[in-house]
Amino acid sequence: MNFLRNLLAAILGCIIAIGVIFVMFFVFAALLGSGEDTVEVKKNSILEIQLQQPISDYVGSNEGSPFGALFQKTQGLDDILHAIRIAKKDDRIKGISINNNFLMSGWAQTQSMRKALEDFKSDGKFIYSYGDFYMQKDYYLASVSDSVFLNPVGILEFKGLSTEVLFYKELQEKTGVKMEVIRHGKYKSAVEPYLNNEMSEANRTQIKELIGSVWNSVVEDIAVSRGISVGNINVIADTLGGRTPKYARTSGLIDAIVYFDEYENKLKKATGLELDEEINLLSLEDYSKNASSKRWYKGKDKVAIIYAQGEIMYGEGSNEIIGQGLINEAIIKARDDEKVKAIVLRVNSPGGSALTSDIIWREVELAKAVKPVVVSMGNVAASGGYYIAAGADKIFAEPTTITGSIGVFGTVPNVNELAADIGINAEQVGTNKNSVGYSVFEPMTDSFREEVQEGIETTYTTFLERVSEGRGISMGQADSIAQGRVWSGVDAKRIGLVDELGTLDDAIAEAANLADLEEFGIKKFPKYKTGIEKLMEGFGGASLFSKEDIIAKEIGSEAYIILQEIKSAMEQKGVQTRMPYTLNIK
C-alpha cells in the first residue's frame, strides 16, 4: 500500500512540476512576444544588416503570434526584402550598414537581396559594408554598397565558384550496402555517384557550364557596382587579388582598410553626427517587427503567393518539405478565394517524388483554368521542382537559379553482400508468380528491374508531356533539352524553359498584369506550425534541440552534410524526379 501511495505521489508531483514549467514557459514566451510592437525607430537611424541564420524563402508562421519566433532556425527572405523596401521610404532611416560574415543563403536569394539594396540606394540613401573577412557570397552582397571596408588583418576570398560531387561506388563495395540504380537510358549523368568513382567528362562539362553561367551573373553585377570591367574582375579572381587587405584595396574590390571603430566614425559622418555622438543602429530583426505592420502592396483584390520549398515527398509537408497536403490545400484556397485574382507559385526545390510532383502539377492546372498562375524560381527549381512549375502561364527565374534536370531515376538499397558476409539468409514464400516482391537481402531479379524500368520510362514520357504542353513545344524539343541536364536561369531562358529573368516581385507584377490589376494586396500561403506548436504537438518525445542539431554539432558541419546525403539517398521511395546529387556552389 505504501508503495502505491508513494508511486501515485511521485506521478502527481511530476504532473504538477511539468504544469508549472509550462505555465512559466508560456508566461516567458508571452513577455517575449509582447515587446514586438514597442520597437522604437529614432530619427537619423541606420539599419544594420547582420544575417546570422540560414535564409529560407518563407518562414510562414502565423503573423501576430507571440510564439512565432520561438525556436525559429531560419530568416525569411520575404521578411528581409520587405524590411529593406519599407526602410527605403522611411525618413527616419538614413542608410544601411552591412556587417555580415558567412552568409547562409543561396546565390539566387543573395541576388534578390542585392537587387533590393540597389533599389534602396535609388532614393539617395547610403549603404556601407564592413567585414573582418568576406567570403565570396558575403562580398557579392557587400559589393552593392557605396563603400566597402575591410579589417586591416582581414581576408577577402575571391577566386571563382566551385562545387563538389561525392561518389559512393567504393563505399558500397567496402560495406556491402549498395544502391541498385534504374534510370532513363539517355539520362547520362544521373546517379553517377552510385555507379562510378569519378565524374564523367560529359557531367564535368555540364556542371562547369552551369557554375560558369552563375559566376558570369555574379561578376557582371560586381562589375557594375565597383566600376571594374568583367575581364579585370576575372583577372583578380585568377590571381587571388583580394587575398590580403592591401591587395583587395589595390585591385579595387574594397574602398578602405579600417578598424571597426574607424568604420563607426564613417557611419557617424554619413549621418551628420559628431564623433562623440552615439549612432542610432537598428537591427534588421527589430526593424522587421516594425515593418511587418506596413503593407507595400495595397488593395482589396489579392495576388496569392504560394511558397513551395524543400525536397518533394509524398505526404502533408512542412516548411522544409514539399508535400501535396499543404501545397495543394494552399492552391485550392487561393483558387477558391474570390478576392484572389492571380497566383504566384514560388518554387525552391531540387525535386523528389514523381508521384507527388504530378499531384501538385494537376492542382496547378486546375487553378490555371480559373485564374492566372505565374511561377517564380528561387535558388533551385530542378527536376520535380520544374515539374510542378512547367504548366504555369509564365515562368520567371533569377539569372543564378539552377533549373531543368528533367529526368527520372529510381534507386533501391540492397544489402545482399553485407548480409552474406555476416551470415544472414532471407527466404521468401508467395502465392503467385509475382507475389514475392523485392527484398533488400537478395540480388535484384531481372523481372523486378524490368518492372521498375518500365515505370521509369513511363514517368519520363509523362514528364516530357507536361513540359511539352506547358512550354508549347514538341515532345522532341522537350526531350532535347531534358535528359537530366541542369541549366542556369540565364541558359534556361535561352532554351525556352523559362520566360523571363526576374525576381519574385517581377513575377508578382506579371501575375497582376495578367489579371488586369492596378492595385492589389498580397496573401501568403501556406501557414506553417510555429515552434511552440511543434513542441506541444510532439510533447513526450520533444526536445528544444533536435537530434540533427546535436549530431551536426558533434561531428561537424561538413561531415554532417555527407551523412545527410547518404541518409537522403537511402530514404528515397518510388520513382524520383530530383537532382541526382547536391550542388553546393561556393
Active-site residue set: 188, 383
Quick check: helix, strand or coil at residue 99?
Answer: strand
Beta carbons of 356 and 313 less than 8 angstroms apart: yes
| Ordered alpha helix ranges (H), 239-376 | 245-251, 260-270, 284-291, 324-336, 354-368
* Cα–Cα distance for residue pair 227/182, rounded to 1 Å: 51
Pairing of β 576-578 and β 256-257? unpaired
* Cα–Cα distance for residue pair 385/164, rounded to 1 Å: 22
Which of 344, 353, 350, 434 minimizes the C-alpha distance to 396?
344
* Cα–Cα distance for residue pair 321/311, rounded to 1 Å: 5
How is residue 411 written as a grid cell? 534507386
Beta carbons of 324 and 359 less than 8 angstroms apart: yes
Which of 210, 229, 245 minimizes the C-alpha distance to 107?
210
* Cα–Cα distance for residue pair 489/480, rounded to 1 Å: 17
- In the chain, the N- to C-terminal Cα span, in Å, equals 68
Beta sheet of 178-183, edge-to-edge order: 178-183, 409-414, 576-578, 351-353, 311-312, 321-322
- In one letter, which amino acid is 291? A
Question: For residue 46, what are the β-bridge partners?
Answer: 95, 281
Which of 58, 150, 60 minimizes the C-alpha distance to 101?
150
Backbone angles phi, psi at 8, to 5 degrees: -65, -40
**Residue 73 exposure: Cα atoms within 13 Å on the Cβ side:** 8
